Structure 1
Amino acid sequence: MITARRISYCTLASAIRFLLMNSEFQKIISERVEVSTALNSWKRVTEGVYLRTFGIDPYIGDLFHETPLGLWVFTFMHQCMSSWGLKCLFVITDLLTAWLLFATAKYYIIELAKREEENKKNTDDNEVSYTPIATIAKTSVLYVPAAYLFNPYIVLNCVAQTTTVFTNFLYAAILYSMIRRLRIVSCVLISLVTLQNLYPLSLIVPTIIYIVQDKKKAERVTSIIFMIILFSSVLSFMVYISYLINGSWSFLDNTIGFILVVPDLHPNIGLYWYFFTEMFEHFRWLFIASFQINVGILYIIPLAFRLRRDPMLLAFAYLSIIAIFKSYPSIGDVGFYMALLPLWQHLFQHMQQGFIVGCFMLFCTVFAPTVWHQWIYSRSANANFYFGVTLAFAIAQIFLLTDILFASIKRELALRHGLPKEIDGKKAKLILE
């Protein structure tokens, strides 16, 4: 039954993607600023491949921002695959990502249920209000791939054929290798995605925590040092391979430098473009440092200390922060971490902002193209209107992240001390005012 349901999911998801890819809407979707950015646009990839084919350095100018390793792979894809074959590749990659998320959810829910059974021994005898993980395990495991395959953000991301499709596949592979405690595979995958997008460097923290948490104290330090050295070595090796492929270090300015310095201020769903358009030039480096510290450094240590007992939730928090605050975000980044939400279905009853967040995200998703049309085509609006929508979208995501983290703390409190369902002898009710 479950297998038949999975097959039907994949068939329907593939059909939706192929229909949109072969419709007149494909070009419109691929040109949307919410979907394609300077970093993930397939049009830019194609132009970079043609420049390389004709012997021109694609990193001269401000056009191509993929790594030389990515350029080598994309060149091979263009030479060996037809247009139809490329479309199939994007759809298959999405299906593989969903399968990896399904496998990750299955192992993670099993571990959570086992940990909850062990923690029940320390629970007080008070009546508690929480949803046992074992009762929702099957639905959570199925909802994760469904939330990925049928998420409108992910569907549009695949239809536009952005390179975020492959980034999401790498993210899913990292989560799977982390839950399976595959040290070498995890380090290689994190190195690859770090070379491509820089910010996922933070994923090494939950990976290390997950792998060493079951080891003895004497072995933990050795394992941590080993993984840090392995990760650094693999990343350095990939950078050197990129240098050999390109023949120079010019790619650093248009990859890592492009992400850090943010020279391209075309509108997107992020916060950088409007802020730095309005910023006085002599303040630019100060605020670039502030923005980059916010997304890359500020939250790593505090969240690692607080969520060290649940590294998967920690990884989710890092992915959410990256999607919200990175310099060139797209809805494909947002869709990936949203697909992970069913993993914490047992936390939903402790969340308080779900309705507000849902309304905000729906409003922003519908209103952003409308305001864009008024600004660019009708000229009845300006950049302030569009930035207002992207700012509201970012705030909604922040509310979602903080709500689920607070829900985790509330449930932990319920498991340890019990949350009484009665107040002053009467049954408690939660009323939204």
Structure 2
Amino acid sequence: MSKVRQELKTIEVLPNLTGVIIFGVAFAIRFILFQFSNITEILGNRVEIVTPVTSFTRLTEGLYLFDNGVPPYDGGAFHQAPLFLACFQLLSYLPNILIPLTYIIADLLIAYLLANITRIKQHLYKDFPRIDVELYEGKPKEIDPWIVSGLYLFNPLTVASCLSRSTLLFTNLSVVLGTYYSLRNNKSYGMFWIAMATYLSFYPLMLVIPSILMLTNNTNLKGKKIENEVYSCAGLYIGWLTGLFILSYLLVDSWDFMQSTYGVILLLPDLTPNIGLFWYFFIEMFDQFRSFFLVVFQLHAFIFVVPISIKFRNHPLFVVFLLSGIMAVFKSYPSIGDASLYLAFLPIYSEIVKYMRYNYLTTNIFCYCSILSPIFYHLWIYAGSGNANFFYAITLVYTVGNIILLVDSTFSMLRREFDIWNPELRHCEITQK
């Protein structure tokens, strides 16, 4: 085992006063707001926050059927993984306060892991070349890991997603755990949590490649040995995922959950409005073209995986950020919880912020959409003075905002590397003839 790998296994962010205050205030805000049942009910029914595959209301319906001996996947209302049934069935026998506490603790754990991921990233990049403006007294200026946690915990998208009791929170937790253990070169745990995220939401399948890059970048292996390491990681991932499927079968005594979870995600039978691109397009789609465009739409989310992983193979954590953003835009049932995940990774690369050109624009787009989305939905559904175009238009603006942010971040990362390796051209504009 290399020295770097040994050092990564010992890195741990210890709580300080800043961290204690941030986590204490975040816990208090969530716990107090959970006491107002009308807030959780309103947020739990917002199409921007929950979807048919992450709704807590639908989870309780499936749990009721399961408890009464009725197959939970009959009827087409429940679309979540069988392990949720087992976990929440156990919680149903305990005091009701444990359900909101579970969501709060999961949110705080994500924030704590983000702080540790930040510290690990700073350790890995300590010998990377830097530009002069990033140095202070000869040492690199780094963002405080607890600030990264705070930016996640006090993001309104994160708070709303937690209060709505969206089960997407547990997918996000699995992604962050997989990233954390992969950075620490814990192959078994890293692949397990990425497999768990895939099991819960399917689209984290695209994170397998950056996770393997994290596990292999800091090794001294070369040639055939590194190929064996890749095969070992892939085998572990497939093994863990197969084990989760078998366990699910044992829980519900049927393979129906495959069609009701992953089949719904891939084939889109439920066209409940959300902030994604799929629902309106397929409402208007002629049946004879539906299969073709389903394949096109689903493939579009995955075609970015290989080129991004190749281009940023030395920055696998940045690949996780970009792919998480792509999932937030191009998955079939997205919500604001998906955006909160990839936005949580952005401050970790605080050095690229100075290169970003559209911060003001993207910030205003997010604010604009947050205000107008519920208004347009109300005009369409309740007031009857609008139509589906009102709501879909604002979801398109939201999508454009996400895409601008991802493209701007990619440009910033590439421009920073260009400036590092070409200091004589640092203040020049890049043009193409």
The two structures have a TM-score, normalised by structure 2, of: 0.91
User: Per the alignment, do residues 244 and 318 of structure 1 end up closer, same or farther by CA in structure 2, a change over 3 Å counting?
Assistant: same
Shift of 1:40: 0.9
User: Per the alignment, do residues 419 and 360 of structure 1 end up closer, same or farther by CA in structure 2, a change over 3 Å counting?
Assistant: farther
Structure 1 contact 38–65 (Cα < 8 Å) conserved = yes
Alignment of 1:9-408 (within 5 A): 9-23=22-36, 24-79=38-93, 81-116=94-129, 130-132=133-135, 135-139=140-144, 141-215=145-219, 216-218=221-223, 219-295=225-301, 297-408=302-413
Structure 1 contact 130–346 (Cα < 8 Å) conserved = no
- How many positions carry a matched residue from both structures? 411
Mapped partners of 2:141, 2:373: distance in 1? 35
Mapped partners of 2:65, 2:303: distance in 1? 39
User: Per the alignment, do residues 2 and 70 of structure 1 end up closer, same or farther by CA in structure 2, a change over 3 Å counting?
Assistant: closer
Q: Secondary structure at the match of 2:273?
A: coil
Shift of 1:14: 1.3
Alignment partner, residue 422 of structure 2:
417
Shift of 1:132: 4.1
Mapped partners of 2:365, 2:21: distance in 1? 31
Mapped partners of 1:422, 1:317: distance in 2? 26
If asked which structure has higher relative contact order (CA below 8 Å, sep 6+), I would say: 1
Alignment partner, residue 3 of structure 1:
16
Mapped partners of 1:78, 1:270: distance in 2? 32
Q: Secondary structure at the match of 2:128?
A: helix
Aligned residue type for 1:304 = S
User: Per the alignment, do residues 94 and 422 of structure 1 end up closer, same or farther by CA in structure 2, a change over 3 Å counting?
Assistant: closer
Shift of 1:130: 4.9
Alignment partner, residue 123 of structure 1:
none
Structure 1 contact 130–414 (Cα < 8 Å) conserved = no
Shift of 1:48: 0.8
Aligned residue type for 2:124 = E
Structure 2 contact 143–350 (Cα < 8 Å) conserved = no
Q: Secondary structure at the match of 1:255?
A: helix
The superposition leaves residues 254-286 of structure 1 with CA deviations (integer Å, 9 ceiling, x where unpaired) of 011010001111111111110100111111001
Mapped partners of 1:187, 1:343: distance in 2? 22
Structure 1 contact 129–419 (Cα < 8 Å) conserved = no
Aligned residue type for 2:216 = V
User: Per the alignment, do residues 350 and 50 of structure 1 end up closer, same or farther by CA in structure 2, a change over 3 Å counting?
Assistant: same
Mapped partners of 2:132, 2:78: distance in 1? 53
Sequence identity percentage = 32
Shift of 1:143: 2.3
Mapped partners of 1:155, 1:373: distance in 2? 22
Shift of 1:228: 1.0
Shift of 1:69: 2.0
Q: Secondary structure at the match of 1:228?
A: helix
CA RMSD of aligned residues (A): 1.7
Shift of 1:408: 0.5
Structure 1 contact 17–159 (Cα < 8 Å) conserved = yes
The two structures have a TM-score, normalised by structure 1, of: 0.91
Mapped partners of 2:410, 2:325: distance in 1? 12
Aligned residue type for 2:287 = E
Runs of 4+ aligned structure 1 residues displaced above 6 Å come to none
Shift of 1:421: 6.4
Structure 1 contact 129–421 (Cα < 8 Å) conserved = no
Shift of 1:420: 4.8
User: Per the alignment, do residues 138 and 395 of structure 1 end up closer, same or farther by CA in structure 2, a change over 3 Å counting?
Assistant: closer
Mapped partners of 2:240, 2:353: distance in 1? 39
Shift of 1:229: 1.3
Structure 2 contact 419–426 (Cα < 8 Å) conserved = no
Unaligned ranges ≥5, structure 1: 121-127, 429-433
